[in-house]
Amino acid sequence: MSSLADFMVSRLAEALSDYNALVKSLERYQEVLISEYKQRRSYMVGKEPGSKFLIIGDLHGDLDTLKKILNKVDVSVMKGCKELELTFLGDYIDRGPNQLETILTVLELKAEFPECVTILRGNHEPPPFLIPSPHDFPHELRLLFGYEKGTNIYAKFQELFSSMPLVQYVNKTFVALHGGLPTENYRREVTLVEFFMGVSEDQFNRLLTEILWNDPIDITNVDRKPSPRGAGYLFGSSVTNWFLGKYNFKFVVRGHEPAYEGFKLNHNGRVVTLFSRVGEPYFNKRAAYMFVDTSAEISLKDIKSYVKVID
């Protein structure tokens, strides 16, 4: 058995140690993302049910936990997407000890298995108008490569961030995104693409902010309220229930929030939060990921059983 973790380590050694090799790798990753965007013509990735999905939440530079998850996957099951697909929910960088290694591992997986891996954008892969705090990734790059080269590498990463999709969905099953359901088009007669992407550039930027920053809240009779994060909103179960009913999905899976047990459930289990890293500054006890077989009937009563916890 050859695990994905071992496979990735062997592929990344040169890029991590050589500036020119890293630049070439980033250009290759960008070509993959741009090519897919042109095919979809949207920041949404749509799938039909039938595949098995391994869904990974926020990593924030926690390479060790990522390796533990990838060690559970044999390289052979990724070929042809016949047995497994990987979905990453964003926030690969900032705050952790191995930020560059972590995001390069995810990007290399995408380049090696482009049809089987979806890497969603998180709020820590930010647009220039909405930088999170702290955002120490550019500082880490300058420490590693010097100010000029580090700044150039970060600029290439910004291009990659802007090419990452925002939403993945599997028809009649689940929607995956980083933050939460946007509320701007709540109760409006819009298509699924319009619900997430809007119909103008200004609306897209507002929806982008919500997708990256929103959090669920379990308070009765609240559709939405401003988020204490300073960006996005807290969205209530009424938004989730309306969305799932209108567009025929079972549940939403997202990251964005630390969870002591590695995951949490909101809105009667219809919103699943995954946090796939451990350690400072979050101090959560466990990390979690999710395994969903979309070829089988999804039981909302057993949604917790799809979540896998790592100590």
Straight-line distance from the first to the last Cα atom of the chain, in angstroms, rounded to the nearest whole number? 23
Retrieve residue 14's tokens: 């040169």
Query: Which residue range forms the structural domain that includes residue 94?
Result: 4-310
Kindly tell me if the per-residue pLDDT of 280 is higher than 60.
Answer: yes
SS3 218: coil
- Range of weakest confidence among 17-26, 111-120, 209-218, 234-243: 17-26
pLDDT at 147 over 70: yes
pTM of the model: 0.96
Average pLDDT over residues 258-275: 96
- Residues 167-196 have a mean pLDDT of 97
Q: Is 77 left (phi over 0), alpha (psi -120 to 50) or beta?
A: alpha
pLDDT in tens, 154-170: 999 999 999 999 999 99
Is there a contact between 150 and 143 (Cβ–Cβ < 8 Å)? Answer: yes
- Averaged pLDDT for residues 176-200: 97
**230 to each of 131, 132, 254, 275, 303, how far by Cα in Å?**
11, 10, 19, 21, 31
Ramachandran bin of 262, using left for φ above 0, alpha for ψ from -120 to 50, beta for the remaining angles:
left
Q: What pLDDT, on a 0 to 100 scale, did the predictor assign at position 13? A: 61
The answer to whether 91 and 125 are in contact (CB under 8 A) is: yes
What's the number of CA atoms in the CB half-sphere (13 Å) around residue 185?
24
146 has a pLDDT exceeding 90: yes
Are the beta carbons of 258 and 275 closer than 8 angstroms?
A: yes
Query: What CATH number does the domain containing 152 carry?
Result: 3.60.21.10
Residue 195 pLDDT > 80: yes
pLDDT for the residue numbered 163: 97
Angle among Cα 24, 29, 31 to the nearest 5 degrees reads 95
User: Which of the two residues, 245 and 299, has the higher pLDDT score?
Assistant: 245
Residue 176 β-bridge partners: 168, 253
> What value does the CA radius of gyration of the chain take, rounded to a whole number of Å?
18
> Using DSSP, how many helices (H) and how many strands (E) does the chain show?
9, 14
Average pLDDT over all residues of the chain = 93
Q: Provide the pLDDT confidence category of residue 249 given band limits of 50, 70 and 90.
A: very high
pLDDT class of 18 with cuts at 50, 70, 90: confident
Residue 118 pLDDT grade (very low, low, confident, very high; cuts 50, 70, 90): very high
pLDDT of 75 reads 81
Query: Helix (H, G, I), strand (E, B), or coil: what is residue 55?
Result: strand
The whole-number pLDDT of residue 289 equals 98
Confidence of residue 9 (pLDDT cuts 50, 70, 90): low
Averaged pLDDT for residues 7-23: 76
Task: Look at residue 306 in the predicted model and tell me its pLDDT.
Answer: 95
Residue 92 has pLDDT above 60, yes or no: yes
pLDDT grade, residue 311 (50/70/90)? confident
Mean pLDDT of 267-296: 93
> Considering its fold, how many domains does the chain have in total?
1
SS3 for 137-154, per residue? Answer: HHHHHHHHHCHHHHHHHH
pLDDT of residue 142: 96
